[in-house]
Amino acid sequence: MAKMGYVALALVAIFCIVHVQGLSDDVEAAWEQFQAHHPSSTKSHTDAAKRKGNFVKTHEMIQQHNKNKNAAYQLEHNDFSVMDDEEKKRYTGAKAPSGSRFLIADNLDASMRQLPTSLDYRTNACLAPVKNQGSCGSCWAFTAIAPLEFAQCNKTKTSVVLSEQQLVDCDPNDGGCNGGWYTNAWSYLMGGSAKQSAYSYTAVKGTCKFSTSTIGSTVATYGSVASKSPSSMQAALVRYGPLSVAITVINSFYSYKSGVYTDVACDNLGVNHGVVVVGYGNLSGIDYWIVRNSWGAGWGSSGYILIQRGVNKCSIESYPAAIASVV
């Protein structure tokens, strides 16, 4: 009996060694592949061991999640896979202000009675291509500019691309790469928003170079949409176009690939990132918002993510706001 026990223990030990070796081989293969496809994220850094360690943690998270057949969304490796938490934070930057907010309420009730079952502005000629904020906490600026570009184009029927860098350099209400808020930015942009061609993005705060001769649009009126009211957000999307919102970004969000994002870990936490809602729909029975991010077209689904709608997922329905009119 003792011999049988030893044999059983030996077999278990061998199985564990083989299993661990298999996992190790899988990680090594994934790491080699990642380095080949993301050379700027790996080879140019002296802290290679640390970055590989970050990759291994991310890889384990992705593998564990994607094995779940009931998962509504899938994860993948991207440039964030080798970053630590402090590096990732530089790609967010929403800082919610305290105090009351002006509420847009005109005619939204009427719009609610005739809401389309789905809406998607991603292919609308007035929505500029997805941009990339880089490692500057300026998401708030990108969240402010996209709806303004849309509103201006919608009024004049001519597309326009505006400057986030002007906000980073010049807006006294916000903190440049240290964070800010989209309605604060709109308050400043009542003095005019420069065209991007005249004021290009650098991802660092510099000296303000704004000139009124470069204005491409000017905010006239803006306000908040009712908080935690998905139908009000839908009505505002129909009436005004893309909405600025704030969300809570956690680790799984950085690795999003496809599907409807439903991670419960982001709920009931403070918001830290500004994004833009550009539509809504339903996938496999799950209602979603179509959300435009500012991490480039290589992230997520061509720069977009679908986030569960109607449950205030990641606080997305807490701080919606819209530009009502432009000059």
Query: Mind telling me the catalytic residues?
Result: 139, 273, 293
Distance between CA 245 and CA 258 in Å, rounded? 20
Q: What is the 3-state secondary structure (H, E, C) of 89-156?
A: HCCCCECCCCCCCCECCCCHHHHHCCCCCCEECCCCCCCCCCCECCCCECHHHHHHHHHHHHHHHHHH
DSSP 82: G
Burial 257-276 (b: 16+ CB within 10 A, else e): bebbbbbeebeeeebbbbbb
Contacts of 158 (CB under 8 A, 6+ apart): none
HSE-up of residue 69 (Cα within 13 Å, Cβ side): 0
Q: Give residue for tokens 């044999």.
A: 7
CA distances from 157 to 98, 127, 150, 151, 210 (A): 36, 12, 10, 10, 25
